[in-house]
Structure 1
Amino acid sequence: MGVLGGLAHPRRYANLREIRTLDPERDTDRIVWLTSRHEFPWDYTQGTGIAFLRDYGIPSIARLLDRTRQFEDDGVKRYDDTLLFAEEASVEGIDSERSHAAVRRLNRIHGHYDIPDDEFRYVLATTIVGPVRWIEEFGWRRLDPVELRALARFTTRFGELMGIKDLPSTYDGYLELLTSYEREHFAFDPANRRVTEATLRIARKTAPRPLRPVVRRVTIALMDQPLREALGVPRQPAWFAAAVRAGLRLRGRLLRLAPPRRTAYHHRPSTYPQGYRLGDLGPASMLDELDHRDVSAPLES
């Protein structure tokens, strides 16, 4: 059965039809916006969240995050800021002044730490592989090759603006980068578990109230075995993991019956109920310095 076949709302594939008329090199921003903010907003966010957990399976990354205590002491702000930086980079296009300003600020934050390029490349790979894997398993349709090419181009351009070198240019390249890096570097460390548990507490706080009692177990159930072992979290019963995945697949099938979103999804940060400005984003301890100190950061035009 083709991607446009099967029982679905009569307008369900309207965005996909538009996407297939676009050029992933020239119309990258439009394709990424439609895919992430209209077609799969919830899936994209969940896939990104699971992807961040993969970072904690790398002990050197987890130890740095553990030392900063941002997840432990100010976790919801850290969660909100991460999603808002991504939104700032995409809402007006990756090469807009708004995006460049956000990436400059992100570079200044990262400039406080000694982070090697291979870790930057790996973390960047998780931001594309995580959402794609989630959508491929739980989305209401599969991603089109045009979407994969646009997502890869957007990811590479974001990395270039961060000054990261030797990046892949295709989704398959990012997938290979991620799998080979994990094969070599995944290992358990107590810091992995501490940052994971802090993040699971953030997930519980930000989840809808009825789901909070099961958020931790559901999140762990969605982890593959190498990740779960690297993070040091307990295996969930097979029946529970199967039920979680079946429920998410059912949600995807039911979404085919819904019309496409008319308005783009925007993250609603609980940290900033009255709204935010770019100067609000970042670790609280750095805000004054970020606003008033002129710190150079890599940003290629």
Structure 2
Amino acid sequence: MSDAQSGSGAREANGEHGVSGMYDAQGAPRAYDPQGAPRAYDPQGAFARLVLETMPEESRVGLTLGFVRTFGIPEIAQVLDSTGRMTNEPRGRAKATGVAMFGLIGQGLESAEGRRIVESLRRIHDRPDITPELMRYVLACFTVCPLRFIDRHGYRPVTAEERDAAYTFHLSLSDALGLPDSEDGQLDGVERWMSDYESRRFAPSEAGRTLWAATSRGLLAARLPAPLAGLAPAVAASLLDEPLRTALDVRRPPAPVRALVTYALRARARSRRAAS
């Protein structure tokens, strides 16, 4: 979502009202409110448990990949690049977005904190170069991409209950932001719309290339298991599908790098599965 945490929005989303309590010292989302009491789950609780407790690391990587995916849309890339934050401090910028999203998921849109974040998002994105359709796409990426990454690389796939809860959250946030949404009442409709939008709008741009260069060198490397971090950006490129690589002018990594990434992620999933 553009530069969603600048100015007063940054203060609101980054902790003056407590959302930073959703993160631990390493920036990982946690399952307790800023006062340390157990959170009361809202009707989207299955989604909150998945991304904040069951698979928080996978959710963070998936959210980061969703953020990167928006770079493939030239208009979004231009907005992000124009602020300078993504190129100058990509980790801080992405963490601010994560804090806002995880705060909304964990606290609920109807909580005092949720209402503050929604109002901040509405205010900061009220500019002529950010259309409702662009915002709709960004929100789709932030909802769909974490679930995709969990399905592919988590120790178990996303359940039907979790997908339904994710769609409920997505629809609620779309409504709160005044955005159009899929009318078929399920997450599959969001994914179909997202794929169709990408087929029409993905295109290379100088802003997209600049954002990818900044992100792949630092942000994605920090989200990966330690043995893989030193191989960024080749490792990061291994996590992109072909349409996104084409839009960002990213070459397909060598086969040994792709194999290493696949092995590392599968090994981690097996380890988590055995421990669960």
- Fold equivalence (TM over 0.5): yes
Q: Does 1:43 align with 2:58?
A: yes
- Counterpart residue identity of residue 264, structure 2: G
Structure-2 residue corresponding to 1:105:
120
Instruction: Give per-residue Cα distances to partners, 1:70-110, cap 9 Å, x unaligned.
Output: 11123232122111111221232222121011111122111
Distance 2:102 2:181 in 1: 25
Question: Who is 2:202 aligned against?
Answer: 186
Match in the other structure for 1:221: 238
What's 1:134 paired with? 149
- Write the distance in 1 (CA, Å) between the matches of 2:114 and 2:249: 37
Unaligned runs of 5+ in 2: 1-40
Contact 1:129–1:175 (8 Å) recurs in 2: yes
CA distance in 1 between partners of 2:221 and 2:42 (Å) = 37
Q: In the alignment, which residue of structure 2 is the partner of 1:143? A: 158
**SS state of the match for residue 56, structure 1?**
helix
Alignment partner of 1:199 is 2:195: no
SS at structure 1 position matched to 2:107: coil
Check if 1:172 corresponds to 2:188: yes
Q: 1:205 to 1:172 in 2, by over 3 A?
A: closer
- Cα distance in 1, alignment partners of residues 99 and 76 from structure 2: 22
Identify the residue that residue 268 of structure 1 maps to in structure 2: none
Note the 1:222-301 alignment, pairs <5 A. Answer: 222-259=239-276
Cα separation, 2, equivalents of 1:123 and 1:139:
23
Aligned residues: 234
The residue that corresponds to 1:16 in the other structure is none
Identity of aligned residues (%): 32
Contact 1:29 1:94 (C-alpha < 8 Å) held by counterparts = no
The higher radius of gyration belongs to 1
- Partners of 2:253 and 2:52 lie apart in 1 by 32
User: For residues 237 and 118 of structure 1, what CA distance do their matches in structure 2 show?
Assistant: 36
Residue 192 of structure 1 aligns with an amino acid whose one-letter code is G
Residue 44 of structure 2 is matched in structure 1 by 29
1:113 Cα deviation (Å)?
5.1
Could you list the per-position Cα deviations for residues 132-181 of structure 1 after superposition, in whole angstroms to 9, with x for gaps in the alignment? 11111111011111110000110111121112123453110111011100
Question: 1:224 is matched by which residue type in structure 2?
Answer: D
CA separation in 2, counterparts of 1:146 and 1:68?
38
4+ residue segments displaced more than 4 Å: 207-211
Q: Between the two structures, name the one with larger relative contact order (CA 8 Å, sep ≥ 6).
A: 1
Within 2, Cα distance between the matches of 1:194 and 1:257?
A: 40
Distance 1:134 1:247 in 2: 14
Q: Pairwise CA RMSD of aligned residues?
A: 2.0
Q: Is the 8 A contact 2:221 2:233 kept in 1?
A: no
- 1:120-131 alignment, distance < 5 Å: 120-131=135-146
| 8 Å CA contact retained: 1:57, 1:230 | yes
SS in 2 for 1:95: coil
Query: How many angstroms apart in 2 are the aligned matches of 1:239 and 1:62?
Result: 30
Larger % of helix: which? 2
Alpha-carbon separation, structure 2, partners of 1:241 and 1:210: 14
Distance in 1 between the 2:182 and 2:113 partners? 23
Letter in 2 for 1:188: P
The normalised TM-score by structure 1 is 0.72
